[in-house]
Amino acid sequence: MKMRGDKQMGFKCRVAALAACSTLALAGFAAGGAQAGILSLLPGACGNQPESQPFLQWGDTNEYTPVPGGSFEPGSAPWTLTGGASVVSGNETFYVSSKSDSHSLALPAGSSATSPASCTDIYHPTLRLFLRNTGSVRSHLTVDALYPGLLGGVQTAEIGSLTGSSSWEPTPQLELLVDNLMATLSLDQTAIAFRFAPADSLGNWRIDDVYLDPFCRG
C-alpha cells in the first residue's frame, strides 16, 4: 500500500492514538452473527488499493479508495440489503467513478444497506459519498461504522446523520476517530464496514460512489 504524509505526521498520529488508548472505554455493542460475517477481512491484510481524488472539484485533495461495491454497478461486490433497499437505474450526476456508470442504491424508509469490509489504517479514516433525498428535507440518513472489537464481536459507531436535497451532492467528510478504532484487534490496520439506514419515514434516499480515505490527515 502506498503511504502518504511525512514521518512527523505519522509520529503525531500515533502519539494521539496512544493518548486516546490510555483513556479508552470499549463503547458500542456486539452485532449478531450476520453482521459479524461482513468483517471477515483480517486486520493488516490490506494489500494495494486503487486511489483517486473523486472530490477534487469540491476542494478535497485527499486520495480515496472505493468501498467495495460502492459504485453499485453490475458485477460489483454485493452489499447486505434489508427492508427494500435495492440497486436501481440512475447514477449520481457527476460520474466520478466512470462516465459509463448507470446505477445507484435506493434506501426507502425502514431499509438498510451494509457494505463489504474494507481495510483501513486506524489513524483517522474518512468516508465520503454522494447522496440525494427526494422526500422531506427534515429526513436524516444515519451512517454507522462497523469494526471488530478487541474483546470479540463487532463494535458500532455512528459517524453521520445526513440531510440531503433532491439533487445529487457529495456528503461532508465522515470521520471515525482514533478513540473508536483503538478498540480494534490491531494497532495498525483493521477491517471496517459501513451501514446506511434512513432514520425516519420522511425521506426517499439514494446513495452512490462510496469512498474511503484510510489515512491520517490531522
Render pLDDT for 10-60 as a digit per residue (tens, 0 to 9). Answer: 333 333 332 222 222 222 323 333 344 545 444 444 667 789 999 999 999
pTM here is 0.79
**What CATH number belongs to 7-213?**
2.60.120.260
From first to last of the 218 residues of the chain, give the pLDDT tens digit.
334 443 333 333 333 332 222 222 222 323 333 344 545 444 444 667 789 999 999 999 999 999 999 999 999 999 999 999 999 999 999 999 999 999 999 999 999 999 998 888 766 578 999 999 999 999 999 999 988 877 777 888 899 999 999 999 999 999 876 555 555 555 567 788 999 999 999 999 999 999 998 765 44
Instruction: Return the C-alpha cell found at 90.
Output: 440512475
CA pair distance 163, 153, nearest whole angstrom: 30
The amino acid present at 18, given as its one-letter code, is L
Length of the chain (residues): 218
